[in-house]
């Protein structure tokens, strides 16, 4: 499949990345440094923004932060009869490039392996499996931007 990016400004959810309600929830196994906790909260907030964006596009969210010993899938969705494994990258700035640029061929290959494990664990048999990337750019002083790249691998 050929990647096809789509960018659109997105309304910021009621809870921003620094508010307590934006937390991913669940007990923290370790005490994180303030910087690590901020990064975790920003990532969880970005995943919420991405899930809402994709749901508005007609996809159905099946799973979020699915983990196994091989790694984690941020979002698992259904787009018609296609299973979509989605990596979400959230950044405050694009100083080092757009958030989606952080997903390289090694990460895509890992997501493919994780998708196979998710399918096995859930005994799912979709018509196809697609890997998408959503980049969320959330500058401190501007509008949130969401970029969805379809079919990266």
What are the sequence ranges of the domains in the chain?
30-150
d(CA 135, CA 138): 10
CATH ID of 30-150, from 3.30.70.2190, 3.40.50.720, 1.10.10.10, 3.40.1350.10 = 3.40.1350.10
DSSP-derived 3-state class of residue 121? helix
Q: What is the mean pLDDT of residues 59-75?
A: 97
Q: What is the mean pLDDT of residues 51-79?
A: 97
Question: Rounded mean pLDDT of the chain?
Answer: 86
Strand bridging mode 4-9 / 60-68:
unpaired
Q: What is the mean pLDDT of residues 84-100?
A: 96
Q: What is the mean pLDDT of residues 56-61?
A: 98
Predicted local confidence at residue 10, as pLDDT? 42
pLDDT-derived band at 31, boundaries 50, 70, 90? confident
Q: In the chain, what is the straight-line distance between the N-terminal and C-terminal CA atoms, in Å?
A: 7
Output DSSP code: residue 143. Answer: -
**Residue 78 phi/psi, 5° resolution?**
-120, 130
pLDDT-derived band at 90, boundaries 50, 70, 90? very high
Predicted local confidence at residue 107, as pLDDT? 97
Q: Is the pLDDT of residue 23 over 50?
A: no
pTM over 0.85: no
d(CA 44, CA 75): 11
CB 93 within 8 A of CB 112: no
Predicted local confidence at residue 115, as pLDDT? 97
Predicted local confidence at residue 7, as pLDDT? 44
Q: What is the mean pLDDT of residues 38-64?
A: 96
Q: What is the mean pLDDT of residues 125-142?
A: 95
């Amino acid at each position: 499949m050929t990647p096809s990016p789509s960018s659109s400004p997105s309304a910021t959810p009621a809870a921003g990345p620094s508010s307590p309600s934006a937390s991913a929830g669940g007990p923290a196994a370790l005490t994180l440094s303030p910087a690590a906790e901020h990064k975790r909260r920003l990532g969880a907030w970005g995943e919420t923004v991405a899930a809402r964006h994709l749901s508005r596009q007609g996809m159905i969210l099946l799973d979020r932060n699915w983990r196994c010993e091989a790694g984690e899938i941020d979002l698992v969705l259904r787009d018609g009869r296609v299973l979509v494994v989605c990596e979400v990258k959230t950044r405050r700035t694009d100083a080092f490039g757009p958030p989606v640029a952080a997903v390289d061929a090694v990460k895509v290959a890992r997501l493919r392996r994780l998708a196979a494990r998710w399918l096995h664990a859930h005994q799912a048999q979709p018509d196809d499996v697609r890997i998408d990337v959503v980049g969320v750019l959330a500058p401190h002083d501007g509008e949130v931007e969401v970029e969805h790249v379809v079919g990266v691998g």
